[in-house]
Structure 1
Amino acid sequence: MPGLTDLRPLGAGGFATVYRAHQAQLGRDVAVKIDNRVLADERDRRRFLREAHAAAKLSGHPHVVGVHDANITAQGTPYMVMELCTGGSLADQLDQRGPLPHEQVRDLGVKLADALAAAHAEGVLHRDIKPGNILVDRYGTPKLADFGLAALLDAQGGSTVTRDALSPSYAPPEAFAMAEPTPQADVYSLAATLYTLLAGKPPRPVPWPITSFDQLGEILRRPVAAVNGVPPALHETLARALHPDANLRTPSAAQLRDELLDPMRQPTVPVSPPPKRKQWPLVAAAGLVVLVVAGVLVWNLLDKEQATAQGPGPATTQQGGAEDIPPFLKKCDNKFCIDKSTCFRGINETGGQPATARKVGSCADEHYWEAYAGGWLSGDIPAVSSEEMLTSAEIVNVCTPAVMKANTRPTVDTTGWEMAAVGFKDGTRNYFLCLGSDPEEGEVVNSAFGA
């Protein structure tokens, strides 16, 4: 790694090893996170660097660990060079001193929620907030670390939480169903972290691995117990952010920050009473693989949330009998082409799960992919990658360079653009969108298709 010497291990996790290194040119020590996985595909390498670039934009926030550099080693493993925080983590402080005073936890929550809100505004999700991922610099400033995890996971299309990447007691219920990560999931994890700092234990400790439906279902629906000495308003703020149903949870990190700042602020979601315990079906084999147990359990528990996370936005199907038009599309000859410019920040892919995509509010926001065509799917969304979707019989003649070119604005040349296809839900029906991306441009803030 250019410019770095004297690498000494600081710690290792499931996917990466962190080193302390010296950056001679600037005369400072830095932290270097080297991922264990090899990115052999050029497209994966570009995706990693794009996501790392997005994470680096957060470096100016006072409560985010700065990212100095990101690249690929000669062996094909991605790495990130980051600010070195010498004060340990909040997990270390919890181990050494026990639970923290509620005034300190509230102050930490305001700062960290503000950092998380800034990340979400840039389209960056954290995915693994916990006490061990909040570091303290030499001045005593708390900082959210490991935003690079998002970049490393997205590089291989693995942004969906997997059992290996999961921190069970800090993960929201929908994460066990392999749902696409969302800002609400990060809100849950931050609230679980703040609760842990108050109580000395997570709000819903999850023993791992889980071996029964009943056990996991009971834990995920367990009410959040009050902590002695913690003001009721602070408890209620955290309880809202820890709601097991993402649709009833505090909707954003900015809202959580504001509620922590002003306990009398009117909440945007109610504090619901604990739901009655649902009787889960009996499972014959207690030793089921954790991935299957967790996925099926929470899929049944929170299928409404999963359906919400799957789609790129509100259903906008235009009715017309057999000629119903899928969302974001219009009739073009005998096919569907994009109606209004529709853009996506990135594509998330996990083996054995359908690919998903993160829609941005406007194509004026930074994005990598833009839709140019699409259509209805006759059945379920195929559980394949976005590249494999292109070869599906229903899609192979729709998502083509010729169709892309036909729908391109006259001033844009899409020759050589990458293509992908992603499926989405629209009520009881499924549809797909054809996506294009200029491999030479990376992040863009303009559009090539639609009105």
Structure 2
Amino acid sequence: MEPGRIGLSGYEIQEVLGQGGFATVYRARQLAVGREVALKVDSRVLSTPRDRQRFLREVTAAGQLSGHPHVVPVYDAGVLADDRPYMVLELCPGGSLGERLHRQGAFPPKEARDIGVGLADAVAAAHAAGVLHRDIKPGNVMVNRYGGVALTDFGLAAMPRPGRELSVTREALTPAYAPPEAFHLAEPGPAGDVYSLAATLYALLRGFPPHHPDDGTQLSLAELIVRHTWPYVPLHGMPTALNEVLRHALAPDPAERLSDAGVFRDALAAVDLDTIALGGPGGFGPAPTMTTVPYHRDAPPVRDAIPASTVAPGRPGGGGGTTVATAPGGGEGGGRGGRNTRLIAALAAVVVSVTVSVTVVTHQYFGSDDDGGTSGSAAPSSGATAQDKGTSGFGVPTTTENCPATGVDGVGGRCVASPECWSGIVDISGIITVTRADCAAEHVWETFAIAPLPEDGMTNNARDLIKHPDVKALCSQKVMAATMLPEGRAVAKEWQTDIIPPTASEWDKGLRVFRCVAAARTENGQKTGSQFAVAN
């Protein structure tokens, strides 16, 4: 939409300052008080009560923190005539730290540390108010007209309330700075913000985010997600104490991570950087005055939260439960030699701007008359016995007994002999990341069929695979409904289907199989128990 055609009374729109996946930011003049402001107009329409509630949460979250010196103030908010929400914020003519990182590279250590202390204080204040930011990165740290830094874009903020799960299935994440658990669609929490904050500080000190190669080679998103699980690599030339603070704040496992922003702030402030030769241009002035913000009473004191021992950098080992599928013959996981040794300072800005939409793909609703291209009957084949069970060619025990998947002609479909459950699916251009989950605990997906890859469809790119008619036939609503146990209908009236292609490790082992999975449309997107168990 052109700047002059927004039609917001009391504001004169001047120019577009920036545009992203969810919003456009304009430079505007607030006529009543004669000041320039940033007008953020969301591209999503508030068409449902849930959407309006989410926007009100966002405004309330940002408004509660407007008085903090390191949070960009919110002046006004509302909804345009076309039902798009808007927010009016302080104009920060200095741009973002992401832009400066792109232009100048790494910051002087003391300046970066002082910025980290100020931002940690803002995050501690947010957490004390029950607010999560969920997208902390250099691009969301602005420089105001006085040279101060402030955190903006609480567009992903949510205010947790007892008994209510936070939805993470349709949020945007910035892969280079998102905590590892976010890619598994885990419930967001304060530890995730601390991770993103620490990753931001790491980028300011090094020039690009954690786990990126020293030669500046740009990573595929799938490889970047895997690297988030690798051990912390200390920053060269920095005090041991600073590396220890960052190591604990960047722990891949949130249970082992420093989760209190107030403790992180205090630990950073205590690091002595006077012995480091400071280079580069001048900073943002003296270290900001810190406002004491209450944090969790049971948080360990700094001397206990940040042990004095150091850990030598380790080689990347095998990942935990995360499985990443890469296209056959693709990726950069092979040799590390022969790469260009130039340091690409612009990498940080590229990674900052890349976001992934973490969503589950709905093919059809439960009970649809359209079977999604199903050919043949979905009725279980007769004469199957328990002797059909086996792992040959599938990697897990399978069976044809009481298995509707066998009724789809020419596909070779089977059922898993024991229930298989999964967390949320992350689909980045067809590259899948998914984690096995305990069926007895909350999870999102469950396997209802498994089959060999079609001979003319040997790929583990999900977006290519789902187009194949055999895959559509097996992973259809018809087969899913026929496989579901009676209690499944009690869990949810609507279900959706998706596929999980072979993982990278399965592909390497010669396992060319794909899974059909189903998810219930529940309030929080999760369910417990197995609704697709087959006879053993």
Q: Deviations over 1:124-164 (max 9, x none)?
A: 11111111100011111100010134269x9xx985165x7
Residue 61 of structure 1 aligns with which residue?
68
Q: Deviations over 1:287-314 (max 9, x none)?
A: 9942875541xx34xx69xx7999xxxx
Q: Percent identity?
A: 48
Residue 124 of structure 1 aligns with which residue?
131
Residue 318 of structure 2 aligns with which residue?
277
Aligned-partner Cα distance in 1 for 2:115–2:324: 43
Residue 25 and residue 243 in structure 1: after superposition, are their counterparts in 2 closer, same or farther (change >3 A)?
same
The Cα of 1:63 is off from its aligned counterpart by 0.3
Residue 519 of structure 2 aligns with which residue?
none
Indicate conservation of the 8 Å contact 1:161/1:179, yes or no.
no
Aligned-partner Cα distance in 2 for 1:281–1:295: 6
Residue 266 of structure 1 aligns with which residue?
303
Alignment of 1:4 with 2:4, yes or no, is no
Aligned-partner Cα distance in 1 for 2:39–2:143: 17
Aligned-partner Cα distance in 2 for 1:102–1:381: 57
Residue 247 and residue 82 in structure 1: after superposition, are their counterparts in 2 closer, same or farther (change >3 A)?
same
Residue 289 and residue 244 in structure 1: after superposition, are their counterparts in 2 closer, same or farther (change >3 A)?
same
Indicate conservation of the 8 Å contact 1:12/1:18, yes or no.
yes
Indicate conservation of the 8 Å contact 1:172/1:244, yes or no.
yes
SS of the aligned residue for 1:168 comes to coil
Residue 218 and residue 147 in structure 1: after superposition, are their counterparts in 2 closer, same or farther (change >3 A)?
closer
Q: Which moved more, 1:286-295 or 1:120-129?
A: 286-295
Match among 233, 237, 242 for residue 234 of structure 1: 242
Residue 161 and residue 230 in structure 1: after superposition, are their counterparts in 2 closer, same or farther (change >3 A)?
farther
Amino acid of the structure 2 residue aligned with 1:150: A
Q: How many residue pairs were aligned?
A: 315
Residue 44 of structure 2 aligns with which residue?
37
Indicate conservation of the 8 Å contact 1:129/1:189, yes or no.
yes
Residue 290 of structure 1 aligns with which residue?
428
Aligned-partner Cα distance in 1 for 2:196–2:55: 24
Aligned-partner Cα distance in 2 for 1:18–1:103: 32
Residue 92 of structure 1 aligns with which residue?
99
Alignment of 1:190 with 2:197, yes or no, is yes
Q: Deviations over 1:3-49 (max 9, x none)?
A: 11134100001111000100010110110111111111134224412
Residue 334 of structure 1 aligns with which residue?
none
The Cα of 1:232 is off from its aligned counterpart by 1.3
Residue 250 of structure 1 aligns with which residue?
258
Aligned-partner Cα distance in 2 for 1:60–1:67: 9
Q: Which moved more, 1:100-109 or 1:195-204?
A: 100-109
Indicate conservation of the 8 Å contact 1:259/1:267, yes or no.
no
Amino acid of the structure 2 residue aligned with 1:130: K
The Cα of 1:220 is off from its aligned counterpart by 2.1
Amino acid of the structure 1 residue aligned with 2:263: Q
The Cα of 1:92 is off from its aligned counterpart by 1.9
Indicate conservation of the 8 Å contact 1:18/1:32, yes or no.
yes
Amino acid of the structure 2 residue aligned with 1:236: E
Alignment of 1:133 with 2:133, yes or no, is no
Amino acid of the structure 2 residue aligned with 1:193: T
Amino acid of the structure 1 residue aligned with 2:25: V
Residue 82 of structure 2 aligns with which residue?
75
SS of the aligned residue for 2:305 comes to coil
Amino acid of the structure 1 residue aligned with 2:18: G
Indicate conservation of the 8 Å contact 2:325/2:432, yes or no.
no
Residue 224 of structure 1 aligns with which residue?
232
Q: Deviations over 1:93-118 (max 9, x none)?
A: 22222211211111111110000011
Residue 175 of structure 2 aligns with which residue?
168
Q: Deviations over 1:210-245 (max 9, x none)?
A: 45xxx4564122222222321111111011101100
Amino acid of the structure 2 residue aligned with 1:17: T
Residue 149 of structure 2 aligns with which residue?
142
Indicate conservation of the 8 Å contact 1:127/1:185, yes or no.
yes
- Where in structure 1 are there 5+ consecutive unaligned residues? 311-377, 390-419, 431-451
Q: Deviations over 1:57-111 (max 9, x none)?
A: 1000000000111111110111111111111111122222221121111111111
Query: Relative contact order (alpha carbons < 8 A, sep ≥ 6): 1 or 2 greater?
Result: 2
Aligned-partner Cα distance in 2 for 1:209–1:284: 10
Q: TM-score, normalised by structure 2?
A: 0.52
Residue 23 and residue 250 in structure 1: after superposition, are their counterparts in 2 closer, same or farther (change >3 A)?
same
Q: TM-score, normalised by structure 1?
A: 0.61
Alignment of 1:23 with 2:30, yes or no, is yes
Indicate conservation of the 8 Å contact 2:167/2:524, yes or no.
no
More helix by share: 1
Q: Deviations over 1:340-379 (max 9, x none)?
A: xxxxxxxxxxxxxxxxxxxxxxxxxxxxxxxxxxxxxx78
- Where in structure 2 are there 5+ consecutive unaligned residues? 1-7, 273-301, 331-425, 445-486, 496-521, 531-536
